[in-house]
Amino acid sequence: MDISILDLAPVPQGSDARAAIASSIALAQAAETQGYARYWLAEHHNLPGIASAATAVLIGHIADHTKRIRVGAGGIMLPNHAPLAVAEAFGTLATIHGPRIDLGLGRAPGGDGAVMRALRRGMSRNDDFPNDVVELLSYLGPERPGAPVAAHPGQGTNVPVWILGSSLYGASLAAALGLPYAFASHFAPNDLDEALRLYRTRFEPGPWGQSPRFMLAANLVAADTDAAARKLRTSQQQSFYRLRAGTPGKLPPPVDDLDSVVPPQFQPMVDSLLSVSAVGGPEAVKAQLDALVARYQPDELILTGNIWDPEARLRSFAIGAEVMGLSRP
């Protein structure tokens, strides 16, 4: 089973986007040596704690600083972009870097109404998502003689396309098109079981896939001891609470007393949404990841973890690679 990393390029309090991107490069390079299969980055906008807004640009930068690991989007929010522009961007990446580039597509806007207006896109474009996906696939596929528009670069690169989702909608679309599917269980686990059942039972083989391929996303916060990992996790808990409260910011440092920064009445909600997680020392993390794999039987597992200290983040993913027995290239 392939195991990968999803990175939001978190910007810690006291730092800046330049340092966050440098930390992402260091993590991608370490992931490559540790045997992780993919390194994906996600599109979000208007969030000072995330440095991956220009996702295709950052994917190219990460690919420039690595050699073998697959690099891609987890994902590009397609309603924000014209399919042709996405095909040209990822076709260019594939032309430069060869068959190392992945393209995950999401239907969410990656921001609020103000962001949509700033991007000159309308929320109604969500309704065009299935047609936009098919159009994008056609631009990346074989040459279409007589087609009025072609992606140059892009045509013939056959960049692998994944559908991302946190609801039954994405599962249904991925199944209907015969595409691989990644579920955002790391922050929205409520529909996970039903989405996975729907995807696997309704999958239709086609030119983009002959059998279902499911990727499970999970949070990973690992340290040398359980107590150290639980403290590291408080950064993510604070960040998630602030986002839900409408006051997002840079990734806060960990605290000893979570009650002092997140009201206790909100903590069950935060912990429920972050429930697909592995938190603790090596033994605890292995047991939790093994349990997730046994329950959902994913074809791939993608791990993410917003940790304030870049060195602690590196250590967390190193522990993940060790306990999951990844083979080093």
For the chain, the domains span 2-324
Model confidence at 2, in pLDDT bands (50, 70, 90)?
very high
Q: pLDDT at residue 111 above 90?
A: no
Q: Looking at residue 116, what is its pLDDT?
A: 77
Query: Across residues 216-225, what is the average pLDDT?
Result: 98
Cα 96 to Cα 175: distance, rounded to the nearest angstrom? 31
What is the percent of the chain where pLDDT is above 70?
97
Q: Looking at residue 124, what is its pLDDT?
A: 56
Q: Which CATH class is domain 2-324?
A: alpha beta
Q: What is the mean pLDDT of the chain?
A: 95
Q: Looking at residue 193, what is its pLDDT?
A: 97
Closest Cα to residue 154, out of 89, 102, 213? 89
Query: Across residues 191-218, what is the average pLDDT?
Result: 96
Query: Across residues 213-220, what is the average pLDDT?
Result: 98
Reported pTM: 0.95
Closest Cα to residue 301, out of 286, 311, 280? 286
DSSP state of 328: P
Query: Across residues 104-123, what is the average pLDDT?
Result: 77
The residue among 112 and 181 whose pLDDT is bigger is 181
Q: pLDDT at residue 26 above 70?
A: yes
Q: pLDDT at residue 195 above 70?
A: yes
Q: Looking at residue 294, what is its pLDDT?
A: 98
Q: pLDDT at residue 38 above 60?
A: yes
Task: Write the pLDDT tens digit of every residue in 270-303.
Answer: 999 999 999 999 999 999 999 999 999 999 999 9
**DSSP helix, strand, coil percent of the chain (3-state; round to 5):** 45, 15, 35
CA distances to 101, 159, 166 from 140, in Å: 12, 6, 25
Q: Looking at residue 123, what is its pLDDT?
A: 55
